Structure 1
Amino acid sequence: MYSLTDLNNFSACDFEAIRESGEVTRQSLTSDVLATIMIPEGWTVIPECRGEFGGLFPVQCRFSPVDNPAVVVCLCSPGELSGTWLLLLASPDGSVLRPLMSGEQLEPLLTAQWLARVASLCRFGCTPRTVASLLDEEVVA
């Protein structure tokens, strides 16, 4: 079992090594990452365990509101493709892809805040393009 401290001390190579060590180890790593994230009520999460999403990242979790599955937020770990954690707003067809945050460490609180922000927009039935547009227009005081 990996703690948040462990996860934040891993390099991209460490994540790749865990992925290469097998499906069970990868699932355990993904479960430990998910245990740190508060998911909005009415949302589901689908973790990649066997390359379902292309296998681009050692950890990739897709969060989506149950009643609006057209909006997807992807959490991706460091690995061969990126040396940082990524949180991305996406549409299932790939027509929308907007970075929400990127960082050297997994930030569970900030991730949960982004998920809550997107969830609040999804309550109005927004499309991924509308969510991206509204986030671009957001003014932070």
Structure 2
Amino acid sequence: MNNNNALNLSVLTAMHPCEFEEWRERGENDRHILTSAVAQLLHVPAGWMVNGEYRGEFGGFFPVQLRYTPPGEAFSLCVCSPGDVSGEWLIVLISADGDCVREVLRLTPFDPQRISGLIAAAAQACLLEHSAAGMAEYLAEGEYA
């Protein structure tokens, strides 16, 4: 795949893990394009921050990693693409202190509606002031459409 192909939903859902890795290997600019394409398909709740990894800021484990963080920054939801580490999309909750790291959703193919639903559920659950572990438990048990 080259940069001239539009990275729309149908392209992203059809990509294999090795294709995500190829995008990463082409460098920071192409990784930025790929990460931005994913981010544009996901909804961000009001007041939340989104940070994408373009170099190795978050460890460099995934070709795409977006961190969605609520006000107060008690945790982040990390949206991670397929690649060498996993053949599936992973959404992982990481507490601000790093004591809680938990997978809350795993899916194939890319499904922005389900991922956005999970982020929206987290935004609503933030009002209940769960601990990071409690939030992870709540999100891991949910169904998002």
SS in 1 for 2:96: coil
- Pairing 1:83–2:87 present: yes
- What SS does the corresponding residue of 1:28 show, helix, strand or coil? helix
Secondary structure of 2:18 counterpart: helix
Report the Cα distance in structure 2 between the residues aligned to 1:82 and 1:52, rounded to whole angstroms: 19
Counterpart amino acid of 2:15?
F
The residue number in structure 2 matching 1:17 is: 22
- Within 1, Cα distance between the matches of 2:83 and 2:98? 21
1:127 alignment partner AA: S
Q: Deviations over 1:15-44 (max 9, x none)?
A: 000000010000000000001001111111
Identical positions, percent:
38
TM-score by length of 1: 0.90
Which secondary structure does the structure 1 equivalent of 2:58 belong to? coil
How many Å separate the matches in 1 of 2:115 and 2:133?
20
What TM-score results when the alignment is normalised by the length of structure 2?
0.88
Change (3 A) 1:139 1:114: closer
Structure 2 unmatched ranges of 5 or more: 1-5
Q: How does 1:62-73 map to 2 (within 5 A)?
A: 62-65=67-70, 67-73=71-77
Moved over 3 A (4+): 133-140
Say whether 1:47 aligns with 2:64: no
In 2, the alpha carbon distance for the partners of 1:102 and 1:114 equals 11
